[in-house]
Structure 1
Amino acid sequence: MSIVPVPEGANADSRVIIDELYHRTNAGMLEAVALAASRGALTIPVAMTFPLDQIGPAHNALAAGVEGKVVLRH
């Protein structure tokens, strides 16, 4: 149950289904990630970079399952 109502007409074609959504707070893990970020020890794998006007090919790369992040630059 959500305290935020679904806007009228949203998901009218029933294409989005959420079966279960939860999270577990782990203060130790959050602290470790924050510490690693502050040291610059986190690496984000960037697979491809596209100019903003090539959003179509960028989307195709995502749809093809490219490993790593696809970045659009302005």
Structure 2
Amino acid sequence: MARKMYDVEIPLGTYSDRDGRQKTRWQNVGAVMDGDKGPYLLLDRWFNPAGLPNPDDRTSVILSLVEPKR
């Protein structure tokens, strides 16, 4: 049986919380799973990295691996 190791998330922008602090808005786009034959990556079908904001004109996309929320 597969076990989720990490959520895969991307930063979509920023917002201000009620105290006026700048926070990053994150979107979950998949998961890293640990299966019988080793780890594998699941990406949501709607996720298209070409549609992400790219103000610095970078050629790559950074996806963050975060511990799953319980």
Question: What is the TM-score normalised by the length of structure 1?
Answer: 0.19
Q: Which structure would you say has the larger Rg?
A: 1
More helix, by proportion = 1
Higher strand content, 1 or 2: 2
Normalising to structure 2: TM-score of the pair?
Answer: 0.20
